[in-house]
Amino acid sequence: MARTQGRPIPTGHITASMALAYALIIGALSMLVLAWQVNALTAALTFCSLIGYAVVYTVWLKHATPQNIVIGGAAGAAPPVLGWTAVTGRVDADALLLFLIIFAWTPPHFWALAIARREDYSRAGIPMLPVVYSVAFTRLHILLYTILLVIVTVLPFLVGMSGYIYLVAALALGGAFMYYALKLHLRPDEKLPMQTFGFSITYLSLLFAALLIDHYIPLRT
């Protein structure tokens, strides 16, 4: 794949066995540090997310189904929950809501990249959505998941987790994401998928920054 050919294993700088040994060592050390210096729950959840991403998603799901990124997105959505449990020692509903935001964000984020790199995925034999179905089908699902994402991002305000600063940011950012998703759906421009992918990264960063700002400057009724 063109986008990964410069990485250490494809270039031969390190072998796959060396990478695996390194991953196992730092993975084991991280579990010890979390259990010792943080709490056992965070260590256990981190272990589950690590196995979920590195084994369940990467080794199995990625090659098994075009819904790989939807199912595997659960591992990628774990970090807010891990941060929450590291501080509180428990899993609360608010933490799961943060998980849900990233879970809904992942498909439109990654499918935009999959459209742009569909030839690479096809040559590698990875059944991404635009490879198994079509680019048009994928563009439609990006739009549908973006609509779902906008709805989900309003929930923190509706349940009282955040205030008006976050709400305004969520609606503005959601509107911008919808603009990209609609344009991608209606106009088959080869540049749009990567533009959408790039914006999705900025979107998530700004959304969580707004949540943080809202926490310290709460504007509520």
* CB-based contacts of 204, cutoff 8 Å, min separation 6: 102, 105, 109
Angle, CA 71 vertex, CA 66 and CA 73 arms, to 5°: 110
Structural domain that includes position 188: 8-216
Does residue 123 sit within a domain? yes
Does residue 78 sit within a domain? yes
Does residue 221 sit within a domain? no
Does residue 55 sit within a domain? yes
Quote the tokens at residue 208: 């969580």
- 10 Å CB burial of residue 47 (0-12, 13-18, 19+) is middle
Closest C-alpha among 208, 209, 206, 217 to residue 164: 217
Does residue 1 sit within a domain? no
Cα–Cα distance measured from residue 218 to residue 162, given in angstroms and rounded to the nearest whole number: 7
Tell me the per-residue pLDDT of 38-58, one tens digit each, with 9 for 90 and over: 999 999 999 999 998 888 888
Does residue 3 sit within a domain? no
Tell me the per-residue pLDDT of 77-111, one tens digit each, with 9 for 90 and over: 999 999 999 999 999 999 999 999 999 999 999 99
Q: Tell me, yes or no, if the pTM score tops 0.75.
A: yes
Task: Work out how many domains the chain is built from and give that number.
Answer: 1
Does residue 2 sit within a domain? no
Does residue 191 sit within a domain? yes
All residue ranges of the chain with pLDDT < 70 are 220-221
pLDDT of the residue at 2: 77
Cα–Cα distance measured from residue 179 to residue 168, given in angstroms and rounded to the nearest whole number: 17
